[in-house]
Amino acid sequence: MTHATVDVMRPPYPTERGLDVYNTKLGMWVFLASEVMFFTALIGSYIILRFGAPGEWARPGIVLNIPVTAINTFLLICSSVTMVKAYATVADGEGHFFRLRPGARLSERLDFGLKFWMLATIIIGATFVSIQVYEYLHLVHRGLLPSGVREGSELAELVANGTLPAATMGLFGSSFYTMTGFHGFHVTCGVISMAYLYFTKTLRGKYSQQDYRGIETIGLYWHFVDLVWIILFTIVYLI
Amino acid sequence: MSHVAASAAPAAFAFPATPRPRGLKSWVTTTDHKRIGLLYFWTAFCFFLLGGLEALVIRLQLAQPDGHLVSAATYNQLFTMHGTTMIFLALMPLSASFFNYIVPLQIGARDVAFPRLNAFSYWVFLLGGLFLNASWLVGPLFHAGSLSVAPDAGWFGYANLTERQFSPGPNIDFWVLGLQILGISSLAAGFNFIVTILNMRAPGMKMMRLPTFSWMTLVTQFLVITAFPVITVALVFLMFDRFFGAHFYVVQAGATPILWQHLFWLFGHPEVYILILPAMGIVSEVLPTFARKPLFGYTVVVYSGVLIGFMGWGVWSHHMFAVGLGPIGDSVFAATTMLIAVPTGVKIFNWIATLWGGAIRGTTALHFAVGFIAMFIIGGLSGVSHASPPADLQQTDTYYVVAHIHYVLFGGTVQGLFAGIYYWWPKMTGRLLDERLGKLHFWLTFIGMNLTFFPMHLIGLLGMPRRIYTYGPELGVGALNLTSTIGALLIGVSVLVFIGNLLRTRKRGAIAPNDPWGGATLEWSIPSPPPVYNFSVIPTVENRLPRWKTELHEPITDPPAVPPAPIHVPGGSWWPLVAALGLPVLALAPLTHTLWLAFLGAAILLFGVYRWAFEPFEM
Ligand code: HEM
Ligand SMILES: [Cu+2]
């Protein structure tokens, strides 16, 4: 039996010299290195503020709605899976998931698979942001502001009766909204970029086993944003 | 889009085959790295003059005890804007001008990896610089009672001095917003140049064949993309504190008092290497060319540069010895600070050894390069002297530190950049700078800077603090300060000579051949200035000194004057500029407390990015 070698990710797309990685992918890696430093600085500052604070830290279990966010976290992790499926469909030709009709050609199945998984990722990503917006609205309603606790609110009562520490609620509000807000901004950017790729490239059949640069590059970004969330969720909500 | 035509019968074509695009539009929409390099140069040079003017006013104020040229408040604005301008608007972008112009030529590429992103970096830099400096003139708009509302809390803007409570006016708003805009420019350029250097090298240009300047650019850009996010976080915190009542730096609300200092210096020390490494790269190009000897220990120079990049992350608290970090913290940072002087010293020996026994030609570029070595040694030594916490407690916040930073930044970076200008100007403009005026420029600079900054060591040790708008006669530093002011005026004269040189040689300077100096690297194998496509044929490199004859290698043949095949050159684009315009508008929103400006700015930015994404733009 002879092995057919499939020329994966070879021209027609232009190969650059150098590292044998195309420019946008390398650019994304470099960008992510920079993002790592950004979130490290955010998280590091949170740790310093939290452990340097006089007295007790706000109790996240009381202020925040952990079950809802846990579900949201689960959703985001799922979106990483769907992203991988989108990538695997186009890169490795994993089309067996979709048997549209008996005898459908592989290329048809692949085409449908890519559209399906990308759309799924976009929808889950958008859901995550929506739930976060809901969470914010709810928190503001209960009285948590970036500047601290609103007078006369539900949380203000908890502060008054000693359930929550008065001294550090301001810092907690500032860092909570800043950290989760920057993450939400990243998810939003990801959703917009994926929607752009979906409408301009995927639907128009621009991706193939020879060229799936956009999917691979946005996939890197998306997994990074997921990973950061798992860390943020642990540090801000759970600990 | 334009195609550079070529024909089977090259003789029929005059070189260059296509006329260069002309007119304002061609500059505003340009994505050509060479043009962007020139834009960077002229813009940064204007900011350099502005920063220099601010310094001269500072020096005139301090020329005599009890000076009263400017008020204390104005003085605060002057030193803050002087430092901020020189670092972010003059020296970094002057280096960027060489990254842009020279790096693609050195690595044998037709452009950078992302040409439109490159244009975006430039426009963001320009707009950010204008935004920051607008604060000099817009006081009346904020009912400030003075013309100027320029930032006034020092280039390192310590929080909580910069909190709304202590700095209520718009001054710090300009600073905190302006620096964020400039950060975006630096980051975008950082991504671009890392990808360019790693990925766009000519065939055969292995990493260890990369010219030293390109290597140091690479290290610098890695520092940029890792250090700038840290200051961005620090600035974001401050912005939220000032505009949304957050509490990141509010000690009464339980915040750690030195959070800002840690974040700022965690960025700040890598930043000083961002400022010096490109100059070290330039010197490592200039010395071999004019000594006609390969750089001594190329590998060591490269690796020590990389090592400096890593170690630069582990020394930041030497700026905080006076904070009281405790004996362990102080000792650790003292040790790392002394250690980092080692790779720095190694480079100095490499440069001296390069000159040793060389066939030295005393061009202006070489003068500046040697001046760099000498002055940088002095700056490095004073640096090591405040690596020791007990000594530093005497020196910190005095003029001694001002002497240190100017020996490394002026004696080092600025002289290195001048060496680069005299070296590469012919490549960039097609005209040589005048060597006689150049030597005059060098000697005035050299004498001027030593007159200005050497006395500051003594002034500092005698106890004069920095950032004080005047001093009494009984301190006994009047004569030294006067000397320093005279030196500063001399530097001013030297810059005038340089400007004269630039203007004089624009039309009348000697026409530069492809290779006026006999350089070893690829940029000298093509015309001066290079055609739009740079290389008519992309060269293949076989060793580290492609244009020199070595024991093992013949020099490569230069690319033909006329491209043997059509070369595709991407056309210009409006969208980087449009997208960049969104940022200052966005920044105006918090500054003026106008919500609709935020939407407008975001809309402009998004529109620019949207059109950018949909624009056909092939490399
Ligand atoms: C031999 C290597 C060096 C050592 C050991 C060193 C050490 C130090 C130390 C300990 C300080 C803090 C002084 C104080 O505030 O009390 C300092 C300040 C400073 N250094 Fe260096 N330095 C070195 C090289 C450089 C270089 C290459 C640059 C820039 C090109 C530089 C720029 C600065 C600046 C700008 C400051 C002052 C920051 C400020 O307070 O405004 N240094 N240096
Ligand atoms: Cu330092």
pLDDT for B193 beyond 60: yes
Q: What is the mean pLDDT of residues B158-169?
A: 93
Alpha helices in A64-168 (DSSP H): 66-92, 106-142, 154-160
Across the interface, whether the CB atoms of A41 and B250 are under 8 A apart is answered no
Task: Give the pLDDT confidence of B481-522 residue by residue, as tens digits.
Answer: 999 999 999 999 999 999 999 999 998 999 999 999 999 999
pLDDT for A6 beyond 70: no
> Per mean pLDDT, which range of A118-122, B5-9, B58-62 is the poorest?
B5-9
Q: What is the mean pLDDT of residues B214-227?
A: 97
Q: What is the pLDDT of residue A164?
A: 92
* Residue B33 domain-assigned (yes or no): no
Asked if B84 contacts B172 with a C-beta cutoff of 8 angstroms, the reply is no
* Residue B524 domain-assigned (yes or no): no
Q: Which residues of A touch B217 (CB under 8 A)?
A: none
pLDDT for A80 beyond 70: yes
* Residue B437 domain-assigned (yes or no): yes
Q: What is the mean pLDDT of residues A211-231?
A: 95
Ligand nearest to the backbone CA of B405: 1
pLDDT for A99 beyond 70: no
Q: Which long-range contacts (C-beta less than 8 Å, at least 24 apart) are formed by B352-355? A: B353/B296, B353/B297, B354/B287, B354/B288, B354/B291, B354/B293, B354/B294, B354/B295, B354/B296, B355/B287, B355/B291
Which of B266, B274, B408 has most ligand 1 atoms within 8 Å of its beta carbon, as the pocket-test mutant? B408
DSSP string, A127-153: HHHHHHHHHHHHHHHHTEETTEEPTTS
Q: Which residues partner with A208 through β-bridges?
A: A211
Q: Which residues of A touch B194 (CB under 8 A)?
A: 26, 30
Confidence of residue B7 (pLDDT cuts 50, 70, 90): very low
Asked if B121 contacts B181 with a C-beta cutoff of 8 angstroms, the reply is no
Mapped onto helix, strand or coil, the DSSP state of residue B465 is strand
Ligand nearest to the backbone CA of B316: 2
Q: Which residues partner with A211 through β-bridges?
A: A208
* Residue B241 domain-assigned (yes or no): no
Ligand 1 centre from B136 Cα, in Å? Answer: 29
pLDDT for A190 beyond 90: yes
Across the interface, whether the CB atoms of A148 and B236 are under 8 A apart is answered no
B236 touches chain A (CB under 8 A): yes
Choose the mutation target among A23, A183, A206, A224 for the interface with B, i.e. most B CBs under 10 Å: A23
Cα separation, B180 vs B187, whole angstroms: 11
pLDDT for B9 beyond 70: no
Average pLDDT score over chain B: 93
By C-alpha distance, which of B319, B329, B334, B327 is closest to B396?
Answer: B319
Task: Give the pLDDT confidence of B68-108 residue by residue, as tens digits.
Answer: 999 999 999 999 999 999 999 999 999 999 999 999 999 99
Q: Which residues of A touch B248 (CB under 8 A)?
A: 45, 49, 171, 174-175, 178
Residue among B113, B248, B262 whose CB faces A23 most closely: B113
Confidence of residue B2 (pLDDT cuts 50, 70, 90): very low
Q: What is the pLDDT of residue A101?
A: 61
Assigned token pair, B305: 């540069």
Across the interface, whether the CB atoms of A48 and B259 are under 8 A apart is answered yes
Q: Which residues of A touch B262 (CB under 8 A)?
A: 48
Number of domains in chain B: 1
pLDDT for A103 beyond 90: no
- For residue B360, the domain's CATH number is 1.20.210.10
Q: What is the mean pLDDT of residues B460-466?
A: 95
Q: What is the mean pLDDT of residues A208-236?
A: 93
A181 touches chain B (CB under 8 A): no
Residue of A90 and B503 predicted with greater confidence: B503
Q: Please tell me the residue having the least CA distance from ligand 1 atom 3.
A: B383
pLDDT for A13 beyond 90: no
Ligand 2 centre from B405 Cα, in Å? Answer: 10
Task: Give the pLDDT confidence of B45-78 residue by residue, as tens digits.
Answer: 999 999 999 999 999 999 999 999 999 999 999 9
Q: Which residues of B touch A30 (CB under 8 A)?
A: 190-191, 194-195, 225
Q: What is the pLDDT of residue A97?
A: 61
Q: Please tell me the residue having the least CA distance from ligand 1 atom 12.
A: B319
Cα separation, B520 vs B516, whole angstroms: 11
> Per mean pLDDT, which range of B461-465, B557-561, B587-591 is the poorest?
B557-561
* Residue B478 domain-assigned (yes or no): yes
DSSP string, A4-29: PPP-TT-TTSPPPSSSSS-HHHHHHH
Question: Percent of chain B having pLDDT more than 90?
Answer: 88
Q: Please tell me the residue having the least CA distance from ligand 1 atom 11.
A: B319
Assigned token pair, B616: 């056909």
Closest-lying ligand 1 atom to the alpha carbon of residue B380:
1
Q: What is the pLDDT of residue B471?
A: 96
Which residue range(s) make up the domain with B365?
275-510
Across the interface, whether the CB atoms of B248 and A45 are under 8 A apart is answered yes
> B249 to chain A nearest CA, in Å?
9
Q: What is the pLDDT of residue B18?
A: 53
Q: What is the pLDDT of residue A205?
A: 84
Residue among B198, B202, B245 whose CB faces A26 most closely: B198
Question: Percent of chain B having pLDDT more than 70?
Answer: 96
Across the interface, whether the CB atoms of B263 and A23 are under 8 A apart is answered no
Q: What is the pLDDT of residue B415?
A: 98
Q: Which residues of A touch B253 (CB under 8 A)?
A: 148, 167-168, 170-171
pLDDT for A102 beyond 80: no
Catalytic residue ranges of B = 82, 111, 155, 185-186, 269, 271, 273, 284, 318-319, 344, 347, 466
Closest-lying ligand 1 atom to the alpha carbon of residue B154:
41
Domain A23-238 superfamily per CATH? Cytochrome c oxidase, subunit III, four-helix bundle (1.20.120.80)
Q: What is the pLDDT of residue B572?
A: 87
> Per mean pLDDT, which range of A44-53, A109-118, B119-128, B329-338 is the poorest?
A109-118
Residue among B113, B226, B248 whose CB faces A37 most closely: B226
Confidence of residue A112 (pLDDT cuts 50, 70, 90): confident
Residue among B254, B259, B262 whose CB faces A168 most closely: B254
Q: What is the pLDDT of residue B19?
A: 57
Q: Where are the domains of chain A?
A: 23-238
A12 touches chain B (CB under 8 A): no
Ligand 1 centre from B405 Cα, in Å? Answer: 6
Asked if B163 contacts B249 with a C-beta cutoff of 8 angstroms, the reply is yes
* Residue B97 domain-assigned (yes or no): no
* Residue B351 domain-assigned (yes or no): yes
Q: What is the pLDDT of residue A12?
A: 40
Average pLDDT score over chain A: 87
Across the interface, whether the CB atoms of A34 and B226 are under 8 A apart is answered yes
* Residue B571 domain-assigned (yes or no): no
Q: Please tell me the residue having the least CA distance from ligand 1 atom 14.
A: B396
By C-alpha distance, which of B336, B361, B345 is closest to B304?
Answer: B345
Ligand nearest to the backbone CA of B227: 2
Q: Strand A148-149 relative to strand A144-145: parallel, antiparallel, unpaired?
A: antiparallel
Q: What is the mean pLDDT of residues B138-158?
A: 93
pLDDT for B619 beyond 80: no
> A183 to chain B nearest CA, in Å?
13
A14 touches chain B (CB under 8 A): yes
pLDDT for A14 beyond 60: no
pLDDT for B232 beyond 50: yes
By C-alpha distance, which of B121, B103, B107, B140 is closest to B36?
Answer: B121
Mapped onto helix, strand or coil, the DSSP state of residue B568 is strand
Ligand 2 centre from B272 Cα, in Å? Answer: 7
Q: What is the pLDDT of residue B5?
A: 37
> A197 to chain B nearest CA, in Å?
10
Cα separation, B418 vs B440, whole angstroms: 13
Residue of B446 and B17 predicted with greater confidence: B446
Mapped onto helix, strand or coil, the DSSP state of residue B121 is helix
pLDDT for B178 beyond 80: yes
Q: Exposed e or buried b for every residue in B240-261, given b needs 16+ CB within 10 A?
A: bbbbebbbbbbeebbbbebbbb
Across the interface, whether the CB atoms of B253 and A170 are under 8 A apart is answered yes
Which of B399, B405, B457, B467 has most ligand 1 atoms within 8 Å of its beta carbon, as the pocket-test mutant? B405
Q: What is the mean pLDDT of residues B229-248?
A: 96
Q: What is the pLDDT of residue A5?
A: 40
The residue assigned the tokens 């220990």 is B297
Please count the residues of chain A.
239
pTM: 0.93
